[in-house]
Amino acid sequence: MSSVEESRGTPQPPKPLAGHELLAGRTAVVTAAAGTGIGGATARRFLEEGARVVLGDAHARRLRATVAALSEEFGGRNVAGLPCDVTDETHVAALFDLAEERHGTLDILVNNAGLGGTAELVEMTDEQWQAVLDTTLNGTFRCTRAALRRMRAHGAGGAVVNNASVLGWRAQRGQAHYAAAKAGVMALTRCAAVEAADFGVRVNAVAPSLAPHPHLAKVTTPELLTELAAREVLGRGAEPWEVANVIVFLASGYSSYLTGETVSVGGQRA
């Protein structure tokens, strides 16, 4: 490392941007939205941009805390939450029913729910494989299907944004199940976009590279996070709100002619 690089220290993220009412008056459902990860950051950014947000999450206690904090800041009318396991069709239906009951419509879905883990392929069990696929890919399918049915009925257009991953393109040891699921999310995004265009709904995805947060740290090692951050061109992982900014763009009118695409959020060295 050069003396210039050493003097720079740890790269710092920019300050969060203020909202500009990009989603004013719109109703959004965000899955896996409790806590400090991309889902929670997306819920906050949507509220800052004027949206009404319905949060789903499998962690009921964490969801209650998130809804309470956001309601205090943005008003209880604008925030609602319901425990939701995206592997359970009844949970999914109840989440979207809540959005329609409270606000009469559904404009945006953000599919953020996913399940990770690390296992070498030769040691991976059927249960490990199926658990990751059922939450990460099948859960995205279930929620997308529920949203598109309602958006088609409302006839007012809308947007779906899926959270994929650069592992849908790249290889990493121990991630065969997760990478396969995220590649499936990308393919689902493209096919759903073709069908949803018939009733004015756009479907896109983001593919984050690295967005560290406390819950991610619990399921990986500090050494791996340091290694992954070192590969990033900017010398750091993304802040969750930086990924959420791209999700806001894809959900807003600023991306009105973009559908079926997966936008990479990050940049790794070759």
Distance CA 117, CA 57 (A): 18
Task: Check if the beta carbon of residue 136 is closer than 8 Å to that of residue 113.
Answer: yes
Place of tokens 């999310």: 185
* Beta strand spans in the chain (E): 27-31, 52-57, 79-83, 108-111, 158-163, 201-208, 262-265
Please give the positions annotated as active site: 178
Residue 159, SS3?
A: strand
For the beta carbon of residue 193, count every other beta carbon within 10 angstroms.
19
Which letter does DSSP use for residue 7 in this model? H
Taking Cα atoms as reference points, which of 54, 56, 44 lies closest to residue 19? 44
